[in-house]
Amino acid sequence: MDMGAADTLADRYRRTMETFAEACRKAGKAPSEVELVAVSKTFPAQRIEEAYTLGHRSFGENYVQEMLAKQPLLQEDISWHFIGRLQRNKVKYIIDKAAMIHSVDSLDLAAEISRQAAQKGREMPILIQMNLGGEETKAGFGEEGLNRSLCGIAALPGLKVKGLMTIGPYHEEPEKARPLFRRMRNLREEIRSWGIPGIEMRYLSMGMSHDYTIAIAEGADFVRVGTAIFGGR
């Protein structure tokens, strides 16, 4: 997609949704079967409002303070996905405000989400963040010891483990992301075969503006698209 050819958010949004729908079609899915999370970090509420008026309802935020500042200014039917690095001392602020937390990267964080969810009397849908490449700059679980970690998380009340998330390395050629996305899909199937009670491997959250079409082809259920819609930061 030539993002330079799109002058307005409305232009970019329409182009993105056309590309998204075509990627879903090629993957044998209806667009309604894949959720495009519009990543609105660093953009003001006014820009989210623009996307909302175009029909979008699912937005992703990376920073707790930013999400809390925007929410009161916007419509209540927005589905907010927390997709960034989450500090344990910030969990209490979003536990009743996020539809899903995509970035659970440690047992300690899962335990804190469980504790806060219990206090609010809710069950929080979460995704387990994987770092399959072992990148030092990125958080997440590796495959080693994953079974043990998932068993520990499954034992915590107030959580609904719904699948996996990853943040892949940036490649100039999006096709180079395909092996990672395929590994994620295969890992989901492997975890399903373990049959851990309380672990539902329903969703894969993977793919961003430059490679989300490849992610959809490899089985993504959530794609996180910011720049293609909102423009450069």
Identify the CATH assignment for 3-230 out of 3.20.20.70, 3.20.20.10, 3.30.300.30, 3.40.50.170. Answer: 3.20.20.10
User: Domain limits of the chain?
Assistant: 3-230
Instruction: Please report, in tens digits, the pLDDT of each residue of the chain (233 residues total).
Output: 444 444 899 999 999 999 999 999 999 999 999 999 999 999 999 999 999 999 999 999 999 999 999 999 999 999 999 999 999 999 999 999 999 999 999 999 999 999 999 999 999 999 999 998 777 778 899 999 999 999 999 999 999 999 999 998 888 899 999 999 999 999 999 999 999 999 999 999 999 999 999 999 999 999 999 999 999 87
Q: What is the pTM of this model?
A: 0.94
- Report the C-alpha gap between 152 and 147 in whole angstroms: 9
Longest dimension (CA), the chain: 50
Residue 220's nearest CA partner among 16, 31, 17, 2 is 31
